[in-house]
């Protein structure tokens, strides 16, 4: 009787879960090893003291049509008949504030946003010449320089306001793309395919999706938590059965299988030892991508009158225990003074609040006094994994110019810790300047064994997207391997399914009795 094929999946995020689930459903003997003590990866819904239930990681299903994550959520009955679109920033309801207290011309704010979004959505269009921009930042700056004279005339806004508005727009772009500076993001990022349908939340939390995806794996005893993979021997592994791939864990355990699927964030992948080593082609692809540092800062606000009346400021209290600041909109845009040509704010140490471009209601339209701000790069690393008490004091001081304008004050502040967590090292990937158009595809190429050749001989591991007569030994998935949907949960899920199909379609043909 032919034995069942086997596979070790390394990493329990959406990509690894999707791959392992598809393989399990197909009858493959699956072993999933996850370094942390939970499944879900960069999807994490959690109860935060004083804040209620918050999305620490992925926030939205980006698009409802052609979105693998949305389709899966609908199939699993998680959308409760369909959730309303929920944009990151609702400009029609945004309150615009300047640090100096000067009024903000909303027409000017909308005009600048229109320039930004028009240029952002047109990235890569007609940019094939010798003078084509090499980075997203260059493309946006060109568009801004061209549009600025007409914006000046149309709005009559003062130069400091226009500079502050443009820098705010760039900061938002960094948060969307996961980079610290758009001038570092390669223009190949324009290959991202925006899906129609708007941004949709998963009712009850995004983790409901990964929990449902992982349920059969947990029930079958396939998932092994607290197992950090440190090495993958994919040819002539010492002590392993002939032809097997062996995954070594820091715990001293080793797992053997016909093949392995690696579903790890870029910094973690870089630490993983491979024997034989990864081919130069794949190393170059990995070096052309970066996992950006993006952190969320959750802030609980209350009216100043509540503080004066002695209302509780205990961060351990219920998020709905204090009155919600009257009239506070779902989105507040923060505008900071900046010198001409200055695109990034000083973000070292306690200066990180100056990198906040806004605060949005953490649960969409829910007015419960809990807001979230987004930080990237150095500012994100400045808050990652730090104690709430320290962050609260720094945010209270850092936004001192804005609290009086909002008629509210800060109760507590909590930040996420993706950059500080060694199992992730960041949030989502972006291509660096000079990254080739096929960078994601090359990163996804499997390590293969050619028919008629032994394990690990000269030239091994140079398999491309089409394996031909080769047997894949190590496969790769994750959002960074998605050419069109990088940086997203649906890109991760699609990549996991892609590698499961590759395993079943190619490895299955090469199995022997």
In this predicted model, what pLDDT tens digit does every residue of 376-400 receive, in sequence order? 999 999 999 999 999 999 999 999 9
Q: Residue 86's pLDDT is what?
A: 52
Q: Residue 478's pLDDT is what?
A: 98
How many CA atoms are closer than 13 Å to the CA of 317, on its beta-carbon side? 17
Q: Is cis: bond before 269, omega within 30 of 0?
A: no
Q: Residue 242's pLDDT is what?
A: 81
**Which helix (H) or strand (E) element contains residue 295?**
strand 294-303
Lowest mean pLDDT among 156-165, 298-307, 370-379, 502-511: 502-511
Q: Is the pLDDT of residue 488 over 80?
A: yes
Average pLDDT, the chain: 88
The count of structural domains within the chain is 3
Domain shared by 501 and 480, yes or no: yes
Instruction: List, as one string, the DSSP characters of 152-176.
Output: HHHH---HHHHHHHHHHHHHHHHHH
Identify the band that residue 456 occupies on the pLDDT scale cut at 50, 70 and 90.
Answer: very low
Q: Which of 355, 384, 415 is the last residue of a domain?
A: 415
Longest Cα pair distance anywhere in the chain, in angstroms? 81
Identify the band that residue 318 occupies on the pLDDT scale cut at 50, 70 and 90.
Answer: very low
Average pLDDT over residues 135-139: 96
Rounded Cα gap, residues 465 and 462, in angstroms: 10
Identify the band that residue 315 occupies on the pLDDT scale cut at 50, 70 and 90.
Answer: very low
pLDDT, one tens digit per residue, over 11-35 is 999 999 999 999 999 999 999 999 9
Q: Is the pLDDT of residue 256 over 90?
A: yes
Identify the band that residue 126 occupies on the pLDDT scale cut at 50, 70 and 90.
Answer: low
Lowest mean pLDDT among 122-126, 149-153, 228-232, 261-265: 122-126
Domain shared by 345 and 381, yes or no: yes
Domain shared by 480 and 411, yes or no: no
Residues in contact with 20: Cβ distance below 8 Å, sequence separation at least 6, in sequence order: 7, 9, 30, 32, 217, 222, 223, 261, 496
Fill in the DSSP letter of residue 298.
E
Check: CB of residue 468 under 8 Å from CB of residue 444: no
Average pLDDT over residues 63-73: 95
pTM score of the predicted model: 0.90
Domain shared by 117 and 182, yes or no: yes
Domain shared by 113 and 164, yes or no: yes
Q: Residue 319's pLDDT is what?
A: 39
Domain shared by 261 and 298, yes or no: no
Average pLDDT over residues 448-455: 57
Domain shared by 111 and 174, yes or no: yes
Identify the band that residue 445 occupies on the pLDDT scale cut at 50, 70 and 90.
Answer: very high
Q: Are strands 408-415 and 294-303 parallel, antiparallel or unpaired?
A: antiparallel
Please give the residue that has the higher pLDDT: either 315 or 8.
8
Q: Which of 140, 175, 195 is the last residue of a domain?
A: 195
Average pLDDT over residues 428-453: 89
Structure-block tokens of residue 9 = 């999946």
Q: Does some domain include residue 422? A: no
- C-alpha closest to that of 238 among 249, 254, 225: 254
Rounded Cα gap, residues 342 and 333, in angstroms: 18
- What is the domain range of residue 281? 6-42+204-290+430-510
Q: Which of 415, 445, 479 is the last residue of a domain?
A: 415
Residues paired with 29 in a beta bridge: 6
Q: Does some domain include residue 283? A: yes
Domain shared by 317 and 404, yes or no: yes
Q: Residue 232's pLDDT is what?
A: 98
Domain shared by 268 and 320, yes or no: no
Q: Residue 469's pLDDT is what?
A: 53
Domain shared by 439 and 488, yes or no: yes
pLDDT, one tens digit per residue, over 182-209 is 999 999 999 999 999 999 999 999 999 9
Average pLDDT over residues 56-64: 95
Domain shared by 168 and 229, yes or no: no
Highest mean pLDDT (candidates 63-77, 228-242, 353-367): 63-77
Q: Is the pLDDT of residue 85 over 80?
A: no
Q: Residue 460's pLDDT is what?
A: 46
Q: Residue 303's pLDDT is what?
A: 85
How many CA atoms are closer than 13 Å to the CA of 98, on its beta-carbon side? 17
Q: Residue 100's pLDDT is what?
A: 94
Rounded Cα gap, residues 207 and 215, in angstroms: 12
Q: Residue 308's pLDDT is what?
A: 52
Q: Does some domain include residue 345? A: yes
Residues in contact with 162: Cβ distance below 8 Å, sequence separation at least 6, in sequence order: 108, 112, 148, 151, 152, 155
Domain shared by 452 and 370, yes or no: no
- C-alpha closest to that of 107 among 70, 71, 151: 151
pLDDT, one tens digit per residue, over 144-157 is 999 999 999 999 99
Q: Does some domain include residue 52? A: yes
Cite the beta strand spans of 386-460 per DSSP E.
Answer: 408-415, 428-431, 447-450
Helices (H) and strands (E) in the chain, counts: 15, 22
Q: Is the pLDDT of residue 320 over 50?
A: no
Q: Is the pLDDT of residue 128 over 70?
A: no
Q: Residue 343's pLDDT is what?
A: 57
Q: Residue 4's pLDDT is what?
A: 80
């Amino acid at each position: 009787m032919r034995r069942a094929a086997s596979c070790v999946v390394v990493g329990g995020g959406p990509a690894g879960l999707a791959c392992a689930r598809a393989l399990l459903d197909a009858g493959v003997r699956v072993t999933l090893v996850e370094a942390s003590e939970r499944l879900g990866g960069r999807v994490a819904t959690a109860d935060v003291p004083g804040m209620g239930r918050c999305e620490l990681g992925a926030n939205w299903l980006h698009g409802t049509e052609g979105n693998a994550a949305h389709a899966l959520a609908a199939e699993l009955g998680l959308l409760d008949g369909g959730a309303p679109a929920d944009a990151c920033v609702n400009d029609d309801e945004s309150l615009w504030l300047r640090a100096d207290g000067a009024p903000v011309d909303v027409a000017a704010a909308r005009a600048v946003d229109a320039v930004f979004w028009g240029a952002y959505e047109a990235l890569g269009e007609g940019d094939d010449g010798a003078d084509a921009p090499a980075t997203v930042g260059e493309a946006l700056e060109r568009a801004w320089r061209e549009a600025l004279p007409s914006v000046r005339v149309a709005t009559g806004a003062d130069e400091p306001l226009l500079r502050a508005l443009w820098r705010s727009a760039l900061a938002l772009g960094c948060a969307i793309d996961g980079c610290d500076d758009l001038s570092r993001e390669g223009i190949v990022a324009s290959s991202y395919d925006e899906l129609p349908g708007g941004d949709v939340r998963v009712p009850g939390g995004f983790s409901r999706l990964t929990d449902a995806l992982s349920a059969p794996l947990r029930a079958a005893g396939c998932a092994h938590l607290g197992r950090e993979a440190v090495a993958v021997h994919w040819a002539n592994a010492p002590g392993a059965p002939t032809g097997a791939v062996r995954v070594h864990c820091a715990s001293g355990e080793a797992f053997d299988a016909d093949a392995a699927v690696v579903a790890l964030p870029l910094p973690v992948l870089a630490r993983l030892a491979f024997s034989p080593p990864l081919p130069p082609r794949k190393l170059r692809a990995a070096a052309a991508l970066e996992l950006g540092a993006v952190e969320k800062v959750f802030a609980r606000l209350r009216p100043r009158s509540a503080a004066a009346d002695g209302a509780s400021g205990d961060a351990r209290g219920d998020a709905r225990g204090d009155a919600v600041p009257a009239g506070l909109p779902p989105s507040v845009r923060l505008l900071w003074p900046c010198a001409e040509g200055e695109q990034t704010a000083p973000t070292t140490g306690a200066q990180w609040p100056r990198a906040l471009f806004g605060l949005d209601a953490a649960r969409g339209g829910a007015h419960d006094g809990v807001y979230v701000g987004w930080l990237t790069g150095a500012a994100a690393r400045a808050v990652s994994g730090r104690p709430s008490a320290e962050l609260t004091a720094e945010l209270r001081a850092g936004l001192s110019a804005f609290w009086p304008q909002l008629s509210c004050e800060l109760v507590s502040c909590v930040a996420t810790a993706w950059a500080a967590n060694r199992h992730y090292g960041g949030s989502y990937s972006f291509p660096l300047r000079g990254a080739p158009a096929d960078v994601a595809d090359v990163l996804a190429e499997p390590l293969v064994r050619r028919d008629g050749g032994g394990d690990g001989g000269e030239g091994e591991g140079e398999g491309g997207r089409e394996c031909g007569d080769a047997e894949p030994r190590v496969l790769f998935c994750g959002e960074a391997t998605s050419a069109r949907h990088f940086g997203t949960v649906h890109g991760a899920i699609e990549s996991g399914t892609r590698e499961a199909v590759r395993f079943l379609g190619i490895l299955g043909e090469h199995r022997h009795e």
